[in-house]
């Protein structure tokens, strides 16, 4: 089997070469007898558990050539047979295999597995892509010639019983080929490009939408000027859906040094865009993988039996800055561990893994590791080493509720797989997946085998109705709370399709350069995000209450955020998918827990494919209003089109002067600076948007419609900056009104919160929705025991995200996740028991409290005792001060 000419023999050096701006790649010791052994032309992909936990990540190695024709051949048991070596001018691959090996990064061990079902034919120079917990394999070349063009899926839904399936795709698609690329773009589209069909070098591009049935390839011909035909290129997808096609060999055999971005707009259009500059050295048969916004490129051949030079063996493209980076002169002297070709590359978190490949006439069997964790080098040479375990624990910790939910989902999947297996055994072709197993269930009770793990089958109408999902996801934090889990559900967040916005009406020609989409303005917000957006690591400092920022820095943060709020409408117009948060009230620990359990707004989380909407009441009551407000402002600056904040009733100076925020500013910043910051933030509050309209069907606000709001236009007509006095009855109703106590209380009633405030009945809700062509209202403002509560027969939902409000309510906190199909899923967290050591404590109290204290020694206790909160809905109001109802 001849696939391509190869570099000749090169001198071997055992030392390591540093990746650009990262630590040196280090070889792992091969542990266990099930290691893949020497090979090239194979693929290496990363799969994780359903919850995306790095602790469960595994590397899947498939196929490849395990010998070279004319070289020292191997016996069936893998031992050398003593045959002569190859000539330097050309190398033919042999020993193609369809073996599957798994590398457990937690234990550092290899395992060879034999999946059920019919495996693909032995092959090398094929392409593979991870789709959730599945690996899709396509194309390649083997002993019998080109492999078929069919898609083969290795399904790890049940890790104990992996299974091969062959997926038949309707219509024409990529022809049988090798040396091509296959990538998953935007968690939805399989994209195949280039290669060789045995006759010529190809320059086509194909996309398969895994969310639509029946599966069908679409040839991309309307995306602008295509890159030239090429084979042995690489294609790597960035987290936000940008695909980078890099290098390769053209029809004349010339190594290419170019790179092209390929992305899909939300309206379905695809776009090519040339990357700035050229790769430091043209190459093919190289490896490439993204870590964040940095594309790491390693090794490669340049033709004529040669490989890339040591000085350019490892390079990087920083797509956020649009710049190629090479090592400093002299740093790679005498080191060439990445000088190889036909190797396989993947990544886990900030780490890049490289396995095997070809160096001269030698097949390699080493596993290399490089670290790109913000420039901080980890001296790791063994995944069993303490530093590696510390990294895994620091990022994802030990067993969590998310893992328990994943295990439950896996158990359901096992049942579904068993049913599908029995169905297949009773009929149908063994070469293809039973169509019943490839379809979504009528009710999303259990996962089934479908290529898209992030989207339901395309049976939904183009404009679906809004509906609340029939099950809620509940995240218990500690073993004593496991009994409180009432329901388990498929995590809708994992089913969302990622979005790529590559067109902008405000730019020339209506386009935004692909390589600048992730660039954000410099400033103090970067520091805030780096230090505060740490869902598992953040801990309150009870010994030193001083805030991390100086007053000047907080004012700078407000200035930059205010510029963005001024550009927005009073009623935001937003799209799904989106996550909606209710009241936070300075309980920063609960915000971190929600980010930890259900995804965080960073590039390692889900901000690239889902928006965040916060419904107000960010300050007062809790102990960390400054952290809460500053982080939300920093996120708004970093992701202005994805993070949205609207105003609550506590975003007003006369209210937060009484309920804790002013006092917190004084306590943590000093009297003079504290007053300055408090006034500046309240001036910012006057610019906050007042409501949000999602997909034209869901109106989100803080309070309600009260007595006088009948049309959305009444809210939109309020001009900002606006104070409570200037807003009149409309703003008062918008920020202060509540639903009546239950669906049986109609009309407008006086509110127990105080004179001039009202409650509104279900009849008002239904009339408002009918008048404004809405299907639902989502509001916050009231503590509800389960974190969310329906009203008006489900036409209104009250949402509250802070748990154990003020340390006394004992309520759960919740968010609502609205999917692209407009199905709304409640996701809950329960309050942490006061004696449970956890980071952080929901009440804001010390981690090591004495049993029963329940955070009573926190500095906000006096404020909450003097001005107790409104009891949760359905609880009787205790008579007392008129201030108690705020």
Which residues are annotated as catalytic?
Answer: 650
| Burial of 221 per CB tally in 10 Å (0-12, 13-18, 19+) | exposed
Crossing angle of helices 625-638 and 524-532, in 10° steps, is 120
Residue 191: HSE in the Cβ half-sphere, 13 Å Cα cutoff: 25
CB 91 within 8 A of CB 358: yes
Query: What does DSSP say about strands 776-779 and 362-371: parallel, antiparallel, or unpaired?
Result: unpaired
In DSSP terms, 170 is beta-bridged to 216
Hunting for tokens 């049942």 — which residue is that?
Answer: 415
Beta strands in 224-361 (DSSP E): 234-237, 243-246, 259-264, 270-274, 287-291, 294-298, 301-303, 306-307, 314-318, 323-325, 344-348, 351-359
Residue in 425, 455, 419 with CA at minimum distance from that of residue 440: 455
Find, among 438, 461, 457, 546, the residue nearest to 497 by Cα. 457
The total of other beta-carbon atoms located within 10 Å of residue 710's CB is: 13
CA distance 334 to 307: 15
Contacts of 418 (CB under 8 A, 6+ apart): none
Alpha helices for 453-587 (secondary structure H):
524-532, 551-567
Q: Which of 681, 601, 683, 680 is nearest to 644 (CA)?
A: 601
Strand stretches in 158-309, DSSP E? 163-167, 181-185, 189-196, 201-209, 217-219, 234-237, 243-246, 259-264, 270-274, 287-291, 294-298, 301-303, 306-307
Query: Using CA atoms, how far apart are residues 173 and 190, in angstroms rounded to an integer?
Result: 12
Q: What is the largest CA-CA distance in the chain?
A: 96
């Amino acid at each position: 089997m001849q696939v391509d000419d190869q570099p000749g023999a090169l001198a071997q050096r055992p030392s390591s070469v540093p990746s650009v701006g990262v630590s040196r790649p280090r070889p792992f010791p091969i542990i266990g007898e099930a290691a893949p052994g020497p090979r090239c032309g194979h693929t290496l992909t990363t799969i994780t558990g359903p919850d995306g936990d790095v602790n469960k990540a595994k590397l899947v190695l498939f196929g490849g050539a395990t010998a070279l024709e004319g070289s020292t051949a191997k016996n069936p048991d893998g031992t050398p047979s003593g045959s002569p070596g190859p000539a330097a001018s050309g190398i033919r691959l042999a020993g193609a295999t369809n073996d599957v090996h798994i590398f457990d990064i937690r234990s550092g061990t290899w395992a060879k597995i034999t999946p059920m079902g019919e495996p693909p034919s032995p092959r090398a120079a094929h392409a593979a892509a991870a789709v959730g917990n599945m690996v899709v394999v396509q194309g390649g070349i083997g002993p019998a010639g080109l492999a078929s063009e069919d898609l083969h899926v290795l399904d790890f839904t049940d890790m104990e019983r992996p299974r091969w399936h062959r997926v038949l795709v309707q219509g024409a698609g990529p022809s049988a080929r090798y040396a091509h690329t296959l990538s998953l773009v935007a968690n939805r589209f399989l994209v195949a490009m280039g290669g060789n069909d045995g006759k010529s070098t190809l320059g086509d591009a194909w996309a398969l939408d895994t969310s639509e049935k029946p599966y069908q390839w679409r040839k991309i011909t309307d995306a602008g000027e295509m890159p030239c035909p090429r084979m042995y290129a690489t294609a790597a997808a960035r987290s936000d859906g940008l695909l980078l096609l890099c290098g390769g060999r053209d029809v004349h055999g010339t190594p290419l040094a170019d790179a092209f971005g390929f992305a899909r707009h939300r309206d379905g259009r695809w776009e090519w865009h040339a990357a700035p500059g050229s790769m430091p050295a043209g190459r093919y048969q190289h490896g490439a993988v993204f870590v964040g916004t940095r594309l790491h490129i390693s090794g490669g051949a340049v033709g004529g039996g040669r490989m890339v030079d040591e000085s350019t063996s490892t390079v990087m493209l920083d797509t956020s800055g649009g710049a190629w980076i090479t090592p400093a002169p002299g740093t790679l002297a005498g080191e060439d561990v990445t000088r190889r070709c036909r190797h396989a590359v993947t990544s886990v978190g900030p780490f890049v893994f490289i396995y095997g490949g070809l160096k001269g006439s030698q097949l390699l069997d080493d596993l290399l590791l490089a670290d790109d964790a913000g420039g901080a080098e980890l001296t790791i040479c063994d995944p069993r080493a303490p530093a590696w375990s510390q990294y895994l624990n620091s990022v994802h910790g030990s067993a969590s509720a998310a893992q328990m939910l994943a295990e439950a989902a896996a158990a359901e999947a096992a049942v579904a797989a068993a049913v599908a297996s029995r169905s297949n055994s009773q009929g149908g072709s063994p070469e293809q997946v039973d169509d019943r197993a490839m379809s979504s269930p009528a009710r999303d009770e259990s996962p089934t085998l479908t290529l898209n793990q992030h989207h339901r089958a395309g049976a939904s109408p183009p404009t679906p109705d809004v509906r609340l999902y029939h099950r809620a996801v509940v995240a218990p934090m500690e073993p004593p709370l496991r009994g409180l889990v009432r329901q388990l559900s498929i995590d809708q967040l994992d089913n969302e399709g990622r979005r790529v916005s590559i067109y902008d009406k405000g730019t020339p020609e209506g386009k935004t350069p692909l390589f600048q989409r992730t660039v954000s303005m410099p400033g103090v917000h970067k520091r805030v995000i780096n230090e505060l957006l740490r869902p598992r690591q953040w801990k309150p400092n009870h010994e030193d209450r001083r805030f991390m920022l100086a007053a000047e820095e907080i004012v700078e943060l407000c200035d930059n955020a205010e510029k963005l709020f001024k550009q927005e409408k009073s009623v935001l117009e937003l799209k799904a998918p989106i996550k909606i948060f209710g009241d936070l009230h300075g309980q920063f620990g609960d915000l971190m827990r929600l980010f930890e359990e259900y995804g965080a707004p960073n590039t390692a989380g889900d901000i690239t494919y889902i928006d965040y909407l916060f419904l107000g009441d960010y300050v007062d009551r809790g102990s960390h209003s400054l952290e809460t407000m500053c982080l939300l402002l920093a996120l708004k600056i970093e992701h202005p089109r994805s993070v949205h904040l609207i105003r609550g009733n506590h975003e007003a100076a006369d209210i937060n002067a009484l309920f804790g925020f002013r006092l917190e500013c004084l306590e943590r910043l000093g009297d003079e600076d504290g007053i300055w910051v408090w006034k500046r933030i309240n001036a910012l509050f006057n610019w906050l948007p007042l409501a949000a309209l999602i997909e034209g069907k869901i109106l989100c606000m803080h309070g309600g419609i009260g007595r006088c709001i009948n049309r959305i236009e009444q809210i939109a007509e309020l001009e900002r900056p606006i104070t409570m006095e200037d807003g009149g009855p409309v703003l008062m109703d918008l920020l202060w009104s509540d639903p009546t106590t239950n669906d049986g209380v109609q009309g407008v009633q006086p509110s127990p919160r105080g004179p001039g405030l009202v409650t509104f009945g279900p009849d008002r809700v239904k009339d408002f929705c009918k008048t404004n062509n809405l299907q639902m209202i989502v509001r916050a403002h009231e503590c509800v025991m389960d974190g969310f509560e329906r009203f008006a027969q489900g036409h209104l939902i009250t949402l509250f995200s802070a748990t154990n409000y003020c340390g006394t309510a004992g309520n759960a906190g919740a968010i609502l996740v609205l999917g692209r199909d407009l199905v709304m899923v409640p996701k809950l967290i329960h309050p942490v028991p006061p004696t449970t050591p956890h980071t952080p404590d929901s009440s804001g109290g010390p981690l090591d409290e004495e049993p029963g204290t329940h955070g009573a020694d926190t500095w906000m206790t006096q404020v909450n005792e003097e001005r107790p909160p409104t009891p949760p809905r359905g609880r009787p109001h205790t008579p007392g001060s008129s201030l108690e109802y705020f």
